[in-house]
Amino acid sequence: MNRFLTKGRIATLVILGVLLIDQIIKVWIKTHMYWHESIRVTDWFYIFFTENVGMAFGMEIFGKLFLTIFRLVAVSIIGYFLYKCIKYQLKMGFILCVSLILSGALGNIIDSLFYGVLFNESTPSQIASFLPESGGYAPLFYGKVVDMFYFPIIDTYWPQWMPFIGGEHFIFFSPIFNFADAAISCGVIALFLFYNKSFSEAYHLIVKKK
C-alpha cells in the first residue's frame, strides 16, 4: 500500500463512489419516470420505478420514523466500526466489505431524510420534479427510498399437479432494489464467504479494547 492509497483513503473512495452512483441513478429515475413505469432491458431484467418506506428490497417493518432513526444509529455504529478497522489495519478486503455496507446504508438514508423535502410525489400520471415550488411530498425523515432494479429471472407458473400451489404464478427473485441495496448485499455476502475469521479478529481488537 503506497503512501497515497492508504486503507482509509481507499475506503473513503469506495464510500463516495457508491454514494455518487446510487444518487445519480435515483435522481434520474425519480425525475424521468412515472411511478411503476417499467423499461424492459431483457426478458429477465427491467428498470421498474417504485418506492418503499421500509428496509432493503422493499420490506416494510415498523414505522417510517423508527426505520429512519434505526438507519442513522446503525450507520453510526458501522462507521465507528470501520474507523476502528482502519485504525488497527485489518485486512483490506474486510475493510472494503464494511465500506460497501456503510455506503449502501448511507445511500438509503439520504432518500429517507431528504427526498420527501426535495421532490414532489411520483404518481402514475406525474413525474416528480426537483425542488418544486409547491414543496415536497413529505417532511424531513419521512422520504421514500427509490428502487428500480428488477430481475424476474424465472417467470412461470407452478405445474397444476402440485398440491396447494399448482397453477399459481411464480417469479424467481421478485424483489425490486437499488444500487445501495446491492452494495450492502455484496458486502455482507463477501464478509460471510471470505472473512469469517476477520470477525473474530475485529472483535478482539475493537470490542475488547474499546
Active-site positions read 147, 181
Cα dist from 189 to 100, 103, 136, 179, 183, whole Å: 11, 15, 36, 15, 10
Q: Look-up: residue for cell 457508491?
A: 18
Gyration radius of the chain over CA positions: 20
Q: Interior CA angle at 111 toward 106 and 116, to 5°?
A: 150
Nearest of 181, 199, 209 to residue 25 by alpha carbon: 181
